[in-house]
Amino acid sequence: MLSGLDHLVITVTDISRAVDFYTRVLGLDVRYRDQERVDLMLGDMALRLHWTATDIQPRAATPTPGSLDLCLRSQLPLDEVQRHLEALSIEVELGPVSRQGAIGEIESLYLRDPDGNLLEISRPRR
């Protein structure tokens, strides 16, 4: 019945700060839908940013910044990702570590976005 994920909503306290992080640090492309909704393109899906002060309906029962735990796949080897993060003074909280992902064994780095969401950047183990 289902075929994939179209978009995932991330509730943020400051859209411009989130856009800066996800574009500058993670390399996502931005698409502005309107003043209150911004899409960060990730392949054929989007991470949609909603600002906490906006009452967009319908929405989750308790939209809360910093409550997301998201694993993103990297095209680059993790040592390159780690060097990129270090160059931008982005702290890696954990990793690289071995984990189990949806597609099998992965290696992962963990970091946080400006709202405290946990981001796992992974790459399949070889």
State yes or no: is 93 an active-site residue: no
**Beta carbons of 12 and 52 less than 8 angstroms apart:** yes
Q: Which candidate in 36, 91, 107, 120 is catalytic?
A: 120
Give dist(CA 120, CA 15) in Å, integer: 21
Tell me the two tokens of residue 80: 């390159």
Q: Which letter does DSSP use for residue 117 in this model?
A: -
DSSP reduced 3-state for 103: coil
Catalytic residues: 120
